[in-house]
């Protein structure tokens, strides 16, 4: 498979959820805000030509996939959360359409004693040459 064959992107940005992730005990009990960006490296040419949902990725389904992981599961680290989202997005998408995934998870209310905007973890993963 030509690695350059997937130049297009489909993005769902700024997804916001209240969830329980963190190392500290209270973080598992008290929901706090998390933000997720999901960017798919894809071949969207067929979708552009055919104007059919079957030729692309259903971004509503992607949002639900991310919501289920963020809200229904709990992790100590946002790195693990981002990894779970990345893996799930690759499994859930058609390899003939989606070649890679970028995930950014932000925790704007991380327990840091000091001024900051957010803490962010970013993952970028490509399918292997065998299409996995």
Per-residue pLDDT of the chain (132 residues; tens, 9 = 90+): 444 557 899 999 999 999 999 999 999 999 999 999 999 999 999 999 999 999 999 999 999 999 999 999 999 999 999 999 999 999 999 999 999 999 999 999 999 999 999 999 999 999 875 444
Q: Tell me which CATH code domain 3-126 carries.
A: 3.30.1130.10
Which H helix or E strand runs over 82? Answer: helix 78-92
Which residues, in sequence order, are CB contacts of 23 under 8 Å at separation 6+? 76, 77
Q: Helices (H) and strands (E) in the chain — how many of each?
A: 4, 4
H-only helix segments in the chain: 25-29, 45-50, 59-72, 78-92
Name the active-site residue from 107, 110, 111, 130: 107
Tell me the whole-structure pTM to 2 decimals: 0.91
28 included as an active-site residue: no
């Amino acid at each position: 498979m030509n690695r350059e064959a997937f130049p297009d992107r489909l993005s769902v940005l700024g997804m916001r959820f209240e969830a329980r992730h963190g190392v500290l005990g209270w973080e598992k009990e008290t929901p706090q805000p998390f933000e997720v960006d999901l960017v798919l490296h894809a071949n969207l040419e067929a979708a552009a030509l055919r104007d059919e949902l079957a030729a692309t990725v259903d971004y509503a389904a992607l949002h639900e996939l991310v919501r289920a992981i963020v809200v229904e599961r709990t992790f100590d680290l946002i790195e693990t959360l981002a990894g779970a989202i990345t893996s799930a997005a690759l499994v859930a998408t058609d390899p003939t359409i989606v070649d890679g995934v970028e995930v950014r998870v932000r925790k704007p209310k991380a327990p840091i004693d000091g001024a900051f905007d957010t803490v962010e973890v970013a993952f970028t993963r490509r399918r292997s040459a065998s299409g996995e």
